[in-house]
Amino acid sequence: MPIFEYVCGECQHKFEMIVQGSTVPACPSCKATRLEKLISGFAVGATGVPSSGGAGGGCGSCGDPRGPGACSMN
């Protein structure tokens, strides 16, 4: 079941809700059904190891932080 983010067209309350099938969600604050579905970013503001998986160190040949093959110095 997907989780959607909405903003209420009546009271401007932002909220997330699990929506099943053709269920018409209502604002938990004012019960209005005039809602706008927002486009949510996935893991916005997340911190941690970069997707390259490296913790630095470069390619070993030139030290380019982009990793192996980035500088074509093989």
Of 39, 33, 43, give the one whose Cα is nearest residue 10: 33
Q: What does the alpha-carbon distance between residue 9 and residue 44 come to, in Å, rounded to a whole number?
A: 24
For range 47-62, the mean pLDDT:
57
What counts of helices (H) and strands (E) characterise the chain? 0, 3
Q: Which domain holds residue 8?
A: 3-38
Q: What does the alpha-carbon distance between residue 33 and residue 26 come to, in Å, rounded to a whole number?
A: 5
Residue 19 lies in a domain: yes
Average pLDDT, the chain: 77
- Predicted structure pTM score: 0.51
pLDDT in tens, 10-39: 999 999 998 888 888 999 999 999 999 998
Residue 63 lies in a domain: no
Q: How many domains does the chain have?
A: 1
Residue 26 lies in a domain: yes
